[in-house]
Chains A and B, each alone.
Chain A
């Protein structure tokens, strides 16, 4: 029996502390379906390793009577199913972290829910785990989701797996049944590159072969689950990796000290080592490694320290320091696996925020190469990604960042995507390779630029982005504005939704994914026109905030002028100039904005045009007056001669 501590009469604290300190450490996760008994297994580990205190046990007995599912016994699952909703439904809805230790090791367990809609939680638990326990019910054997769990564990770089064949009591401790499941598992797990893979029969409910071997399983010659967890050999993560130091915080207490605080993510660094700022290519030497406990000569993987350098070079949060001879990739495009974690689908082209290490920048998926069926591991073409889907994608970033392939470094090769509007974490990403070396590609600096071109025309180029419901009057007003600008001698171009869809975008339909791509192309086109010095009028329903933000982000701050043409849905429907509302109401057109597709109202447009009771002339004048007032066009046209 394992105990938390050998509590002897003459207790020697320092010996004890030393023994605690020399213990190794294992993070593992448990995955399995709702009824496989994960929570019971963890409860059993905590119970048998004496990690349950008396008062917790008393509460447990009380809870077991109220919610328990195992007749008169203590329901160990209730120890870990913490949230009230879970206890009522008898399921585990979120990742829970648990702690226990034995004489050999300290453990952190991530208990992750197994049913399909919570795959994202398993990925969360797996991202920091060294080992995964895949649970199956001996009566059911391997299920589709066992394959999924093995795949996700492998994808996230979990090095060791254990197949725990639970509820062996319910098949009468039958060796033959166990051997069948074992053979099944071995035939498919060999396809993954795990460092170790073990199959263990057990009963979490009765404790057979969890922490102590069982007479009922006398035919089984392997270790108990706990013995295996205590003895599985862990390679030192990143021990071979090159030194990486993502800068978290510039440490400037006074003018005499300038340090860079961060955590070593791979390799080690010694005072005097030459380091390079990966993104800028500037080099210097490590002068000091500073901590509150005194300066160090060396800093190893995982250590949080502050470095000072011999030279004053420009470094800020998000920069990565690395050895000059072993640099990370630096690129603004890479290929990666994405695990989609949001109810809202991922749409290529939609702008997201990407956090990699300590750097957060704009990013979008440029292409879904293929979606992975997590049950069959087949590849499929896809236009978008739904919750819990995994795909191999190309991503483009707003600037180049430093990274390593995930295989080489879990910390510098991983990222999350964040939705710009809701701020939720929508995806986890694992980088495979950079798509071009931005370090070697310098953008051609052009002498003739948009300022020069615009100056020639006497105007400040910009996009006037008209957004609003179909039939709100966008195109009519935009046409009137263009005519007025022309009569003032200004150079303009009008991109109209319907016209563009007949040419440039004729391959696109009206699904959400196509709408996003539609706007992306129009935004990119309008950027080119702005670069050409034109005042560009864009008249598009553009119902989604995220896409309007994408267009805004492509342009400089004062180049995007959003005009919300605000006409009520009732009014648009009454006008119905193209008869589209009537068709949509009859169900002949689907995904029609305002009817069965949302219009997200702009929160802070540059101009909010309420059209009710006003003429087109008056509305167009209001816009032109604003352009004059804000200096986009001059009040006279003397330079237009």
Chain B
């Protein structure tokens, strides 16, 4: 399916490419956060376009909590290999040593240690001065106020009250040593735009987005998939094979599935159009309290 050169999607695409190139041109050591999900897939696709015929002049960074769906890891390695990209995988080894996991430590603690801390550790260790993230302003209220170039202090904190004004398409990439910028090239995309673009451009995504029979348990109204034998069943819970898919991907014990038979991109987009539940509701970590995303962001979460 072709896209008209002046269409809405092309306008978004052009803006994102501009942002990605600005980061590559203005920073010494940028990195692209690659979370393997659909937004990352689109962001990577845009990076490939931005520098063609060159390869993107920065590596990808995957923060591996060790609790990702196995299919995500397979897809990650396949993608990196297909495009000949540099990939850095970083895990909080201290957390692994202490056996930090989503079952014993609660979603909030676990996320802080295995995602937020691990990310900060990686950014500090490799001295990255800019990191691309696939966040969108339509995802969540505090993200609606996020800049395209979002300044982070040397300790990776975000100060929402003290953000740099951002006018026209002029992004201020000046930082002092140790400080960094999080760059969000997909800021102005909506979830629907992402799916339409994936459809129009034929972008490959992790099969977990498509419906299949998968082993799940229902817990507190959420369908959780048993991706490996580390999943702990509670008394009375029973595993069922159901037709499910995922609207968002993360750590499998914290990611809710939806019942669906949509097994093609066309079906997913159609389903999306009649959806009445926003995508982040599948992420258990956002529900702790209403301001919880802002809190995580202040601490350095993407």
The judgment on whether A and B are partners is yes
- Say yes or no for A253: interface residue by CB 8 A criterion: yes
Mask of A242-260 contacts with B, CB within 8 angstroms, 1/0: 0000001101110001010
Which A residues from 74 to 92 make CB contacts under 8 A with B?
Answer: 79-85, 87
Contact between A54 and B1, CB atoms less than 8 A apart: no
B172 contacts which of A11, A56, A418 (Cβ < 8 Å)? A418
Of all chain B residues, the one with the shortest Cβ separation from A261 is B21
Contact between A249 and B294, CB atoms less than 8 A apart: no
Chain A residues with CB under 8 A of B141? 79-83, 96
- Say yes or no for A303: interface residue by CB 8 A criterion: yes
Which A residues from 108 to 150 make CB contacts under 8 A with B?
Answer: 108, 120-121, 123-124, 127-128
Contact between B266 and A306, CB atoms less than 8 A apart: no
A253 in contact with B53 given A25-B11, A304-B17 (CB within 8 Å):
yes
- Say yes or no for B22: interface residue by CB 8 A criterion: yes
Say how far A635's CB is from chain B's closest CB, in angstroms: 38
- Of the listed stretches B29-37, B58-66, B104-112, B267-275, chain A binds B267-275
Chain A residues with CB under 8 A of B277? 53-55
Q: In the assembly, what is the distance between CA of A442 and CA of B196, in Å?
A: 54
Contact between B168 and A414, CB atoms less than 8 A apart: yes
- Say yes or no for A212: interface residue by CB 8 A criterion: no
Contact between B22 and A416, CB atoms less than 8 A apart: no
Chain B residues with CB under 8 A of A415? 170
**Mostly helix, strand, loop or mixed at chain A's interface?**
mixed
A96 in contact with B168 given A55-B281, A249-B24, A304-B21 (CB within 8 Å):
no
- Say yes or no for B155: interface residue by CB 8 A criterion: no
Which A residues from 93 to 114 make CB contacts under 8 A with B?
Answer: 93-99, 106, 108
Contact between B290 and A428, CB atoms less than 8 A apart: no
Tell me how many residue pairs across A and B have CB atoms closer than 8 Å. 186
- Of the listed stretches B121-129, B159-167, B210-218, chain A binds B159-167
Count B-side interface residues using an 8 Å CB cutoff. 69
Contact between B142 and A302, CB atoms less than 8 A apart: no
- Say yes or no for A317: interface residue by CB 8 A criterion: yes
Mask of A56-77 contacts with B, CB within 8 angstroms, 1/0: 1001001100000000000000
Q: In the assembly, what is the distance between CA of A121 and CA of B18, in Å?
A: 23
- Say yes or no for B55: interface residue by CB 8 A criterion: yes
Of all chain A residues, the one with the shortest Cβ separation from B162 is A424
A11 in contact with B278 given A85-B161, A98-B144, A127-B168 (CB within 8 Å):
no
Chain B residues with CB under 8 A of A36? none
- Say yes or no for A358: interface residue by CB 8 A criterion: yes
- Say yes or no for A14: interface residue by CB 8 A criterion: yes
- Say yes or no for A200: interface residue by CB 8 A criterion: no
B165 contacts which of A20, A59, A62, A428 (Cβ < 8 Å)? A428
A-B contact list, 23 entries, CB within 8 Å: A4-B273, A5-B273, A20-B192, A25-B8, A53-B278, A54-B276, A83-B291, A83-B294, A84-B295, A95-B145, A96-B144, A98-B137, A98-B138, A121-B165, A123-B165, A127-B168, A128-B168, A292-B52, A304-B21, A356-B170, A358-B22, A415-B170, A416-B167
Q: Which 8 A-B pairs have the closest CB atoms?
A: A82-B141, A53-B278, A304-B17, A292-B52, A127-B167, A423-B174, A253-B54, A84-B291
- Given contact pairs A83-B161, A94-B161, A120-B165, enumerate 4 new A-B contacts (beta carbons under 8 Å): A82-B142, A83-B145, A96-B141, A124-B165
